[in-house]
Structure 1
Amino acid sequence: MAEPLATGIDPYDTAELRRRVLAAWADAPARFREDANAEEDFALGGYRDRVVVELAQNAADAARRAGVPGRLLLSLEGRRLVAANTGAPLTAEGVESLATLRASTKRGGDDSVGRFGVGFSAVAALSDDVTVTSAGAAVRFSADLARAAVAELLAGTGPDGLAAEIERRSGHVPMLRLPFAADAAAGGAADTRDYDTVVSLELRDDTARERVRDLLSGTGEALLLALPGLAEIRVLVDGAERVATRQASGGDPVTTLRDAEGTRTTRWHTLTRTGEFDPALLADRPTEERGRTAWSLTWAVPVDDGGGVAPLPPDVEPVVHAPTPTDTGLDLPAVLIGTFPLGSDRRAVQPGPATDLLLSEAAEAYAALLRRFDAAAALDLVPGTRVGGGHVDAGFRARVAEPLRSTPFLTTETGAPVAPRDAVLLDTGGAGLSAVLAELIPGLLPGRLNPRHPALAALRVHRLGSADIADLLADTDRPPSWWAGLYAALAAGADTDELGALPVPLADGRLVRGPRSLLVPQEGPVPIDAEALAALGVRLVHPEAVHPLLLRLGAVEAGPAAVLADARTEAAVRGSLDADDPEPLAEAVLGLVAASGTTAADLPWLAELALRDDEDGYSVAAELLVPGAPLGEVLADDAPFGTVHADLVDRYGTDVLRAVGALWEFTLVRAEEAALGEDVLDVFEEAPDALDEWADEVLERVGDPELPPVVPELVCVADLDYVADDRWPQALEMLSRGALRGAVTEPARVLLPDGRVADVPSYTAWWLRTRALVGGAAPNELRAAEAEAALTGLYDEAPADVDPEFARALGVRTTLAELLADPEGPDDLLARLADPERHVDRSALLRIWTALAGVDADLVTPPTRVRAVLGGAIVVADAEDAVVVDSPDLLPLFAERPLILTAAPEELADVLDLELASESVDGEVSAGGTLRQVPAVADLFLDPEGEQPDRTYLHHAELVVDGVEVEWYAGDGVVHASTSDGLARALCWRAEQWDRRHLLAAALREPEAAPLLLAEADLEQ
C-alpha cells in the first residue's frame, strides 16, 4: 500500500460531497427524510445481515478491475471489524458512489458483482463509525461527525422543516450520505500491509459483535464459489483463523477450508452456459439493469474421489446464488450461480421474463450436466418430489422434469444409453434376474441399480414388480428344472410379498399359481400320510422344481411339525367345529401332534381343534377334560366342561390330547404387552374372571398414572372361578406345583409411563387371596404361624400344611408392613380392631397405631369404632368419643374418654379423622404459680446435645388445668409443676428425653443420690 496522506488532505473532495448533500437537505427537508428512510430501510431491513457478503463482493470487484487474484481478510477483534482486500483502490468516483444511494458506478457492460449502489449501506446496521483506507487515502463515515455537520447547518441557516424532521428522528441523520476525510494511518488492529483497501468498522455494541461473529462463522467456500474473483478468504476472530482458498483443476474449481478442526477440500464439477437477453425480456427491470443484456449461469456439483455426488459443504446454503447467496431457496445437491434479476435488497430473485428464461436454460443445462456422471451418480442429482418451496424452486422443477426424462443419461443392462422415458426397471430380483430377462424387455435397466432410488420415481421410470413378473410367466410352459433356475434368479432379491402368484409345478403334473401352502418334499420318502395331507388341503411341489425361494414364499417342508404349523392347517383347525365332519381333520391333526411333539404351548390355536366328547358331540379341545384329569376332581358340578371320548384316549393317549389343549390341570393363558386400561379385558379372547378388577387395583397401587401402564408378559391361571368350595385344598395343591406355582408366586412386572418399573401381586395371587378357601377362610383372613406378633390376635393362623412362600403369595398375612401395603389392608385391619371378639394387647395396639400413622389418608376409610385405652383397659369405643393423645400432660384431662396412644399422634389423627387431645382442651391454668429456677441437678440427667432444657418453671402449690388437678402442664409453652415428679416429666418432655423422666424424678427428690443414679444409668447403657 502507498504511504498514508498527511492529516487534513482531502483527496476524495469529501467536503464538496458534504456541501452538496447538506445544501440539498436545507433546500428540501423532504430530501433529508427520503435519505434517512432509505438508509434505515437498507441498513436495518434488506441488508441487515449482508455486511460480510457485501464486503466480499466489493473485494471481488476490486480484484477483477485490477486483474489480480482477489484476497480478502475479515478480522474481528473486540468491537472492531476489519475487511481488507487486494485489487483496484477506492477512487473519488467510488467514494461518491458509497455516499450516493442507488447510484452505483458499476453500470453498462461492467460485469461487476455489485450493481445496485446500496450494498455498502449494510455497514450502518452494525456501526456508527466506518473508515475506508485505500492507496494512502481514507474516508470516514461517522454518525457523530454527521450530526455535528447537520448541527452546524442548522446553526447557520436554521431551516425549520429540516430541524423539525431531525427532532422527529431524535437527532439521527443518515451518516453514509456525509463522507469525511480521514487519517489513512488510523486503521484496525489486524495486519493489513499486504492488502490494498481496508474497511474498518467500530461495532456499535456487543449485540452487533455477536451478529458479526455469527456471520463470520459461516463465511467460506460459498463465497469463493459464487465470486470467482476471490482466490482467498482469511477469517480472524479473536486470534482464531480460518482460511478458505480456491484453485482451478481441469477447468473445475477446488475449494479448501482450513481451520482449527483441520482441512477440508471440496472438488466441484461445473457446467456453464452464457447468452444474451432479448431486450424485451428486460423491459420490466430498472433502467441501469436494462443495459446488462449478457447472462450467464453455472451449475456446480461437489464430487467425491470416486466421481460420485458429495454432500454440499456445511457453509454452502441450498439457495440461488446471484452470484452471492440470496434468500431464494433451491433444494438441490448442486449450486446454481447466475445473473438472476434481484430486488433492491439483493435478497430474493425477482419473477419475470428474464428469470423465466434463465430457469429454462438452467433446466436444459442441468439435464446436460447429468450426462457427465455415471448413471448411479446422476440419479443422486435428480430433483426429488417436493411440496411447497418458492417460485424459483417450483419453476425450476417444473421446467427440468421433461428434459431429464428425455436425456439419455441412464444405461441398459446391455450397456446402451437410454432416456428415463424409455427405460424399464425390475422392481425386484438381483442382477441375475435382469440378465435373464434383458433379451425379453427392451430398455431394461441393470439389476445392480437400486430400484428404491427416489430419482427413479421422480423420473417416472416404468417398473416391473414381482407380481408383474409372475403374471408375465403365467402361461410359460417349461420343464420343472427351468423353474428351479428362475427361482434361483428371483431369490437374489425378490420381493416375496408380490410373488404370491408365482407359478409352481406340482408333483402331479399341474402348474399352480402361488407357492403358499405348498409342501416341499424332504429327502427320501414323504413322511406324511397322503390322506392326512388331503384332509388338511396341502399340496406337494415337483422334486425337480424345489428351491429355497419357495420356502421363503410360504411353502413348507413336508415334516409333521411344519405341516402342522402351516396356515392352511391352522385355518382348518380354527374352523373344525363348523365342519360337516370334524373327525378326519381331528385324526389328521392328532396324528401330526403325535409325530411332531408340538403342543398348544407352541401353537395356541390347537386348543380350537374340534374333538368328539363322551356324549358323541363335538367341542373344542380347550373345553374338554381328559378322562381322569386332576382338574375334574376340583371343579364344581356345574362347570361348563365336557369330557373327551374314551375312544380318542385309547387311540392317541392322554399326552397327545393334552398336547392339543384338552384339560388336565389348570390352564395358563398368556398375553404380551398388556395395557392395564379400559380395554384390559380385550387382551384375551376369553378374559379370566375379574381381570378388570385386578387391573383397577394395580392402577391404585402404582398411583393411577394418566397413561395406562403395561405388563410385558401377563400370565394368568384360567377357570379358577369353577372350583368347588369344598375342593380348594386339592386345587391349591395343584396350583402349588410346576408352572402353575410361578403364576401365583411370581409378581407381575408393570412398566409405568414415566419409565419406572413396579412389581405387583400377579392376577392369580390376587384372585386367590379373597376367593380361595384355606381351612374354610380366604387366605387374606389368615396369618402365617411366624407372622408379626401384632397380627396374632387379629388374624387366625393358617393351616400348617401350606408352605410359607405359597401362603405368602396367596395373601396370608405375615407382616404389618405388607398388610398396610395392600390397598384393602388398612380398612381390613381397622375392621378387625373394631371387633371386640379379637384380642389385642397393649404393645401390639401401640405398634399398630404407629404403623397406621404412616398410611396415605386417602387410602383409609375413617372407622366408626376404634380400639382404645380407657382406665387402663383396652376397649372398643365409638370413634367420635375417642381422642388421640399428643402430649402426656393431657392424660389426666381425658381420664373419662377412650384414649389412642401412638408415637405419631398428628399423623394418625389425620389418617383416622379423629380429634387430637391438644385441640380439645382450653388449657386454662390456675393462678398463683411462683417462678423458680430449675434445680441444677437436672443438667446432669438431660442430654446437652438435645433440645435446650428449661431453666425456670412456675411452681404451684396446687396446679389445676381446666378444672382438673394435675402434677404438671406445658401446653401453653411454659413449664408448670406442683411436684418433683411433675417437674421431671415436664422437663424431659420439653427436652424430648421422655425416657429419663423417672431417673430425673428420683434425682429431684434426693439430689444427694445423683452420683449413684448416674452410675446405675451408665450400667443400663
Structure 2
Amino acid sequence: MAESPDDLPSIEQLRQAVLRSWRDSPTRFTEDTNAERDLRVGAYRDRVFVELAQNAADAAALAGEPGRLRVRVADGELRVANTGAPLDRRGIAALASLRASGKPADAEETVGRFGVGFAAVLAVTSEPRVVSRTGGVAFSEARTREVWASDEVPVLRLPWELRADEPPLPDGFDTEVRLPLRGDVGEPLRRIEDEVADVLLMLPWLAEIDVDGRRWVRRTEGDHVVLSAPDGGRTRWLTHRGPGCVWAVPIADDGRPLPLDEDVLHAPTPTDERLSLPARLLATAVPMEPSRRRVSASADAPGVTSALRAAAGSYPGLVRSLPARHRLALVPEWRFPLSDVDGVLREFVVERLTGDDWLPSARSGLLPGRRARVLDLHAPRLVKLVADVIPGLVAAPLCGRDAARTASVAGARALTAAELVDALGGVERAPAWWRALYDELLAAVDRAEVELDELAALPVPLADGRTVTGARGVLLAEDTAGGVDSLGIPGLHIVHSQAGHPLLERLGAAKAGPSELLRAPAVVEAIARSVDDTLAGLDGTPLADAVLTWVSTAGAAPGLGALALPARSGVRRADELLLPDAAILDVLHPDAVGDDAPLDVLADEVAARWDRETLLSCGVRDTFTIERVGGSETTDDEPPVPDLDLVDDHAWPRAVRLLASEPETWRVLTAPDGRLRTWLSAHALLAGRAPRQWRLPSATELSGLFDPAPDVGLSDELLVLTGVRTELAVDPETAAEDARLLCDRLGDPERTVPTGLVLRAHSMLAALSPDDVEPPERVRTLAGTVSEVTDDGGDEVVVLDAPWLLAMWPPERIVASADFADAEALADVFDLPLASDEITEIDAAVEEDGEAGFAAWSELPAVVEVAGLLGIGVPDGGVVIHEELTVGGTPVPWWRDEQAVLHAADSPSGLARAFAWAAGRWPDRVLLERLLDDPDPRTVLG
C-alpha cells in the first residue's frame, strides 16, 4: 500500500538525514558530490527547459487537465510557472534524492516528476527554488557551505525552507521554479524559444507555453497535433500512438507529409541517439540510461531490441493514417545508419512495411510491400485501366519510377512497360479500352519513360474481332477506307476503328487510306485471285466495290488489272475489259472481243455506276495503253503496247492515229528506244504491206528499191513513226528482215535500181553479220542486170575487190560495193568469190609488148606538177610505164601485179589511176586524169 504524503519526512528531517549520512560515511558526501557534478556537466546539460516542461506536463497529467507553462525573467531569475498538481512532500523528497522519482506508481502518462532530471537547473543556477501553492523548497550552494565546509558541495542534496519574503505565485498557476541566473539573462530565453515547439509535440499534457509574453499553443485535431506560434504560424503533426511510443511526422497545410531527414530518438525528451527515419519516434518504453540521453544498453540488447521492434510495429499505422497518395513519403530511404539504434530501428520498420498491409491496391484493400507491384510509369490512368489485369498492382497515384524505387525498399517490385505488355497478352477487352491504354503508353513514350522497343509485342484488336501481337504489319483504316472491315480478306490486319491510335503507327502500323490499302499485300493477293474466287462461286462484288471506291480517291496502283469485274459474257480481269464506248473497239479484229476472246466489254451497269477515270485506273481499256498493269515484260515478238496484235488488218491507219492521239502512247511511239516503231514497221499493214516496205514519196533517192507509200490518211510524221523509210538504212533490231528485204528488192528483175543505190545497198549489207543475211539467189550487177548465183563455177559473178581488176570481167559478172574495203565482207554475206581470188597467175601476167620502163614518181614532171596543184605529197616508188599495157591478153589502163608493182599505160587515164592508188587518193583519180591531160589551174579552180 502506497504511503501517504503526510507520512513522509519534512524538509528539516530530510536535510538532517542527509547531513547524518555524510557524517556517518564520509564517502557518501563524495559520492553525492560526484554524482551531481556528472549530472550537471554531463547527462543533463542543456536540458533545463525540457526537464522543467516535463515536470509541468506530469503535473498536468496528475491533475487530469491540459497544462499551461509560463516562462519569465524577473529580478535576474528565470521563472517557470505551470498549472497542475502542486509540489508535495514526495516531490520534495525526490528533488533531494538525486536518484528517486516523485511519479506515483499508477501515473502512466508521466515520465518521472522531480527526479534526477531536476539537476539540469544547475547548468544555469546554484540557488534553485520551487514555489507551489502547497508550499515549496529551496536549494542553495551558499547555505549548504554554511553547514558543510568543503571546496565543492552538492547543491540538490540539502533542501531548505523558503524564506518568508518569497514572492507569491503568478495568478492562475500552481507551481513555479525560480532560478537565479548566472551570466546573460537573455540567453536562456532564446534557447527556450527554440525548444518550445518540440516540447509541446512530445508532451501531450501541455496545451500552452508562454515565454516572456510570446505564446505557443498545442491543439489536437484527430490524429493531428497543431502547434500555433506567437507569429501566427502553425505547425501540424500527424501522430500515431503505439504501445509505449508515439510516431509523428510534420504535415503541410495541403495535407502533404514533410518527412524528416535527420532527427533524434525522443524518450520522450530528445536523446543523443541519432535517427534517419522520415518520422519522429517518441518512445517511453525504450530502456534509457538515467540521463535519458542514451539507450541503457547496446542497440541489439534484448530489452532495447524488443522495445524498438514494438515501436516499429506501429509504424505502418502512421503510414496508413496518411492519404494513400502520400504514403510513400514515409518509406525510409536507403542510406547508412546514423547510429546503432538507427540501424536496428530502420531494419525493423522496413521489415514491417514489407509484411504489413499499407499500400493501396488498385483493385481494393491494402497490400504488404512484398506482394505489391508498382507501375514504373507516371500514368495514374493506366494503373486504373490495368488494375484487374495485374495482381498486386498498387493504386494510382502511387506510380512512376520514383514511386517504384521508393516502394522497392519495402519489397515492392517495379512493373515495367515490357512486363505490362507481356501481361496483356491474351487479354480480351473492348477496342475503346485498348485505345485508352495506347493514350497512356504514348504519353509515356513522349515523356521518354518508355522505349518503343518495349512495346513491340503490344496486343492490337482487329476489325474482324481477333487480337494480334504487335503493331507491325497491321493497317490503320482511315475514314475514306469505308467497308474494309467487312471484306474479310485473309491476312489483311485492319485495326478496329475504335482502337486506332498514333502509337500503333509509331510501332510499325501503316495508315490504311485508299492508297495504302490498294498496296497492302493481302489486298493485292485478293485482287490477284479475285477472278478464280468468283469463278469458284464466291461473291466478288464487295471486293470490286471496295477497290473501285479506293481507286476513285487514290488513283491507280500496281496489280489492279487483275480485279474481277462483270463483263457482257461473264467475269474478266479488269485489264481484259473495254469500256462500252471504247475508241479501240473500232480498230480491233471482230474475233478479239467476246467470250473466249482475249478481250471483252465491261458490263453496262458497271460502266454506268463508276466514273470513267476510276475504271481506266483499274485497267479497263478505252484506247491503247502503255503496258498491262501488273503484267510481265514483253518479248521481241510481242508489241510493247498491249493488244496491237489484235488490230484488224484493214484498221492500221486508224490504229496508228489512235496511238498518236493519246499522250502516253505517243511518248512510247516517239521514245528514243524505238521499240514500238520497230514492231510497227514489221507487223502493221499499210495497203497490205508492212510499213518498212514503203518509202516516203519524198524519199526519191530510194526509188527503185522501195515504192512510195500510198495515201492511207497518215501524215509523213506518222508514216515515218510506223517504219516507212526515208533513207537507206538497216535497223539493228530487225537486221535479218531488212537484209532479206534488200536482197529481194535488189534481185527483183522487174525493178530498175540506180547503180549508185545498188553500190550503197551492197556496202550496207556488207556491214551486217553473215548470220543476219541469207545468201541471195539473184544479185544485181554493175551492168544493172540481175544475175543468178550458180554453184557450177561457170559464169559465176564475183565481188570486185580491187579497181585494176575491173577490166578483167564484163559488168554483167561483177558485183561491187561503194568502197573496195567492203568487198571481202560483201563476198562473205553473199557467199560469192572475190575477183582477186578468181584471177589465175596466167591471167594476171603482164605482157611485154612494146617499150616499157620504170620511172620514179618524182621523175615524172607532169605528175609532180599535178600533185603540187592538189597539194598531194609525191609518194616514194614509181611505176612501170607501158606504151600499151596488156594483162592476160586484155588491154588495161593500169595494173598492180603480184609483187605489188604498179603498171600503167602511157596515158593520162592509166597514170592518174596508178598515181591515185600509190598516193592513197583514189577518189581523186578522175580529177588527176583531167589535170594530167590539161595541167591548167583553172581545171582545179573552175
Larger Rg: 2
TM-score scaled by structure 2?
Answer: 0.46
Whose relative contact order is higher, 1 or 2, with alpha carbons under 8 Å and at least 6 apart?
Answer: 1
